[in-house]
Amino acid sequence: MSNNNRIASAFNNGKAFIAFITCGDPDLETTAAAVREAVANGADLIELGIPFSDPTAEGPVIQEANVRALSGGVTTDRIFSLVRELRKDVTVPLVFMTYANVIYSYDPERFLAKCEETGIDGLILPDVPFEEKEEFLPYCRKHGVALISLIAPTSAQRISMIAKEAEGFVYLVSSLGVTGTRSEIKTDLSSIAEEVRRNTDIPCAIGFGISKPEQAAAMAKVADGVIVGSAIVKIIAAYGKDAPVHVGEYVRSMKDAIMQ
């Protein structure tokens, strides 16, 4: 499957740095510039958040970004146009992170067909439990889009089951609760990562709560990649249209840290 290959390629140059950006905050032009700066500074894969009015997995930072983007008039169609534009020069894997309702309201067949057409490699749906993924999997398979599974510290005996069926990469959630920067991460992630590796060859990346280079370096020792969202969204909230250059500097510092 070409999408899995492209996602796998993000993990080929040592540890992968994965950057999350909310589409349309403060506008789509800034999103495009921030994506390009992140990639130019070492981001190996980009997660594009499609805003939703009730993003249950998100903490206040990303919730506020969703509100700003939606009040700015961003739509799923405009985000597909953004992806089409990015794909003129951005070659790293692009993955959507959104919620089931966004896809239902768009129509799953139409949504996944658009993903294939514009060059989206994967899909993360934090509100769809593993047991309910069959609602979307046939459309993903048909259109060559990896449906990326999340594994949380509470997944317990389900870890091996989820890992065995994982596609693209395994998204290992570092801690309970919602996204946001954490001062420390206490979960025993190495044992979870080991369990994942016993059941799949697909790379494993850790997200939720990582904001500082030293945290990223520690997580990179446990997993194949590190995912950072809230810290990047905070930079965009602080600098608005001037944010892309600051996003690039931050991504460079984080990528350097995980490559040590």
Hey, how many other C-beta atoms are within 10 angstroms of the C-beta on 191? 12
- Residue 1 predicted with pLDDT over 50: no
- For 198-236, the pLDDT digits (tens) are 999 999 999 988 999 999 999 999 999 999 999 999 999
pLDDT in tens, 83-129: 999 999 999 999 999 999 999 999 999 999 999 999 999 999 999 99
Tell me the pLDDT tens digit for each residue of 160-170. 999 999 999 99
213: domain range? 2-258
Helices vs strands, H then E, count in the chain: 12, 9
Report the Cα 194 to chain-centroid distance in Å: 21
* Count of structural domains, the chain: 1
Calculate ∠ Cα 109-80-60, nearest 5°. 100
pLDDT digits (tens, 9 = 90+) for 111-120: 999 999 999 9
Task: Answer for the pair 170, 204: CB distance below 8 angstroms, yes or no.
Answer: yes
The domain that holds 230 is classified in CATH as 3.20.20.70
Measure the CA dihedral 126/129/135/138, to 10°: 80
Q: Find the distance separating the first CA and the last CA of the chain, reported in whole Å.
A: 32
